[in-house]
Amino acid sequence: MTARRHPGKSFFRGVEPVSGNQLRLLQGGAEFFPALIAAIDAARDEIHLETYIFNADPSAGAVRDALIGAARRGVQVRVLIDGVGSRELPAAWQAALEATGASVLVYRPLVNNWRSDPHSLRRLHRKLAVIDARVAFLGGMNIIDDFEPVRLASPRLDFSVEVRGPLLVPIHRSVRHLWRLVALTQLQGHGRNTAIEPSWPTDGHVRAAFVVRDNFAHRRDIERVYLAALALARDEIVIANAYFLPGRRFRKLLKNAAARGVPVHLLVQGHTDHPFFQSAARALYRDLLAAGVNIYEYQASELHAKVAVVDGHWATVGSSNIDPFSLLLAREANIVVDDAGFARDLRQRLQQAIGQSVALDPADWQRRPWPQRMMSWLAYGGVRLMVGLAGAGRLT
């Protein structure tokens, strides 16, 4: 499809994109882990790694070993993991990192059972790595093997982006700021300050923005850039999202786009690791399908992607799901890109995934038995209750 521009209108609501970047889209662990490990192996000064899940498996072990090797070379290694997502990281793994001089911090360590404490829903969900302030990786990829914990025949569908260019400035600033903030709240030292400045090649051409969600100055930024893109869409909307439970305004913009003739394609989980949440999301499908939104349940493997392409030139890849937990509670990080080549690459991969999916039939969902509909709405109400108890407000 031909990408069309929208003179005088911005797909980057409230954020400032920068030009001159080199971006590489990485799909799955087969592309992500070798690129990440190669960058770690080449590190000379500083490594920042943030992840929700740091699992104990061979892929994660290779990353751990690369980090240990870097620390032994004198590289300052800082690893920030989430207290819920990485709660099963073996103590021996953390000890091995710290024994070589690497620093490991746990974001919001667990005190009580996290399932019984609504405030424990405020998690570090970002997946970011910055090496020597020269290259960054961000997206949906945790430090976990593609076949863990859901063992299916095909690898998990997920994406990350390798970034080189001036976008490193806000990314590097963000990881350093969050590290200092967590260290301060836990009365930990910051470690030595390498004081390096971002640098990059001069031949990049891609325009992109780094967009975060936090509980301070950027509470709604990711949600807003999505809403702006949907409102301006003219040609096509393709969204792949693992946990899809948007607010009323988001759903209204999808339905409005379909009503004005824009093809809207939504790729969601077929296989899920959270059946309760999938049931809640399905409460919304009947209305969306009736409005002309195409919904596909991915069957080839587990879907973990959080990506979208609009009008053949706007794209986003990141850690943020389109649900209340990501958009109202967690720390998230996305990259938003205005580039036809990058968008085309991502769209082609999503079209291939749609070909491995089951298209939901609007007529079947209109006839869905009332007990199933009731269970979905009860689950939907349960999700809203949890978010409310966590004090997050509500989606627009």
Q: For this structure, is 252 an active site residue?
A: no
Amino acid letter, residue 354: I
Q: For this structure, is 145 an active site residue?
A: no
Q: What is the mean pLDDT of the chain?
A: 92
Whether the predicted pLDDT of 381 surpasses 50: yes
Q: For this structure, is 304 an active site residue?
A: yes
The Cα–Cα gap between 137 and 319 comes to 11
Q: For this structure, is 274 an active site residue?
A: no
pLDDT digits (tens, 9 = 90+) for 257-298: 999 999 999 999 998 888 899 999 999 999 999 999 999 999
Is the distance from CB of 376 to CB of 229 less than 8 angstroms?
no
Burial zone of 243 (CB within 10 Å; 0-12 exposed, 13-18 middle, 19+ buried): buried
The Cα–Cα gap between 238 and 267 comes to 8
Q: What pLDDT, on the 0 to 100 scale, is given for residue 388? A: 77
Whether the predicted pLDDT of 74 surpasses 90: yes
Whether the predicted pLDDT of 42 surpasses 50: yes
Catalytic residue, from 311, 323, 338, 339: name it. Answer: 311
Q: For this structure, is 313 an active site residue?
A: no
Beta-bridge mates of residue 308: 239, 316
346: CB partners within 8 A, 6+ apart? 25, 159, 307, 309, 315, 317
Q: For this structure, is 311 an active site residue?
A: yes
Residue-range domains of the chain with CATH: 18-185 (3.30.870.10), 207-389 (3.30.870.10)
Catalytic residue, from 48, 127, 172, 265: name it. Answer: 127
Is the distance from CB of 361 to CB of 368 less than 8 angstroms?
no
Q: What pLDDT, on the 0 to 100 scale, is given for residue 8? A: 42
Sign for the pseudo-dihedral over CA of 367, 371, 372, 376 = positive
Identify the weakest region by mean pLDDT among 37-51, 142-156, 351-365: 142-156
Is the distance from CB of 240 to CB of 303 less than 8 angstroms?
yes
DSSP 120: G
pTM for this structure?
0.94
Q: Which residue bears the tokens 């490193």?
A: 168
Catalytic residue, from 48, 172, 265, 304: name it. Answer: 304
Q: Which residue bears the tokens 């439970």?
A: 245
Q: What pLDDT, on the 0 to 100 scale, is given for residue 360? A: 98
